[in-house]
Structure 1
């Protein structure tokens, strides 16, 4: 078994859509990022790559590469899963946390969980998504952005 953890954060900007966990969330602002800015998937990719000893998301999908400009982060996640399968690894479970003062994310968590389970190729019961606030402290508490953390457990294929 291999354990990995990941973290990501992005600031809000006007004129972009908000995508979290592969789901578009109705909100007046989105994330400033080279890709679609899905902080939850970015943290998840870092956790998966870290568990496998494969570096981080920036190494695999650099923000200096125009090929990744505006890319759907689900595409990146699916590529990471292919890399893991190449190492004979699969996702056993994932525990993910979104940190945001706004928007309210609870209504969107079931759809995020289903979408991520599909991309991770594991049962939805093995993907946990939570949302919390920092009680109006720090950049997330002031509504300046969103952060996410991820912890994953990988097992060898065949176990």
Structure 2
């Protein structure tokens, strides 16, 4: 077994759709970024790449390349899963947490979990997604942005 940790954060802005775990969450703002800016998927991708010793998402999917502009992060997560497999591993499990003051995410967690599990080709029971607030502290608490953390385990295929 190998383990990796991932983190991502993006600014909330008007005029963008809020996508978390591949789910379009109804909200007046969305996350700014080159792709769909899905911080949850990005943190998981970095955790997986880290576990395999394969750098980070910026190395594999640079924001200087137009082909990644607006791309679904679930598509990128599928590609990261392929990278893991090419290096002789498979995803074992993922635990993650979204840090956001608003919106309330509980109604969307199960769909996020299903989307992520499908992209990584693992059972839903091996993916855990949580959400928390910061009680009004910091950039997430003030509504400036949303962050996500993830830990991923991979095993020899």
**Common topology (TM > 0.5):** yes
Aligned mates of 2:134, 2:56 — CA distance in 1: 26
Match of 1:51 in 2: 51
Aligned mates of 1:93, 1:50 — CA distance in 2: 14
Match of 2:68 in 1: 68
Aligned mates of 1:72, 1:116 — CA distance in 2: 12
For residue 87 of structure 1, report the CA deviation from its aligned partner. 1.1
Match of 1:82 in 2: 82
Aligned mates of 2:76, 2:90 — CA distance in 1: 16
Where does the alignment leave 5 or more consecutive residues of structure 2 unmatched?
A: none
Q: TM-score, normalised by structure 1?
A: 0.97
Match of 1:14 in 2: 14
Runs (4 or more) in structure 1 with deviation over 6 Å come to none
**What secondary structure is seen at the aligned counterpart in 2 of 1:4?**
strand
Match of 1:147 in 2: 147
**What secondary structure is seen at the aligned counterpart in 2 of 1:131?**
strand
Aligned residues: 157
For residue 66 of structure 1, report the CA deviation from its aligned partner. 1.0
Aligned mates of 2:13, 2:93 — CA distance in 1: 32
**What secondary structure is seen at the aligned counterpart in 2 of 1:9?**
strand
Q: TM-score, normalised by structure 2?
A: 0.99
Aligned mates of 1:133, 1:9 — CA distance in 2: 14
How do 1:113-132 and structure 2 match up within 5 A?
Answer: 113-132=113-132
**What secondary structure is seen at the aligned counterpart in 1 of 2:34?**
coil
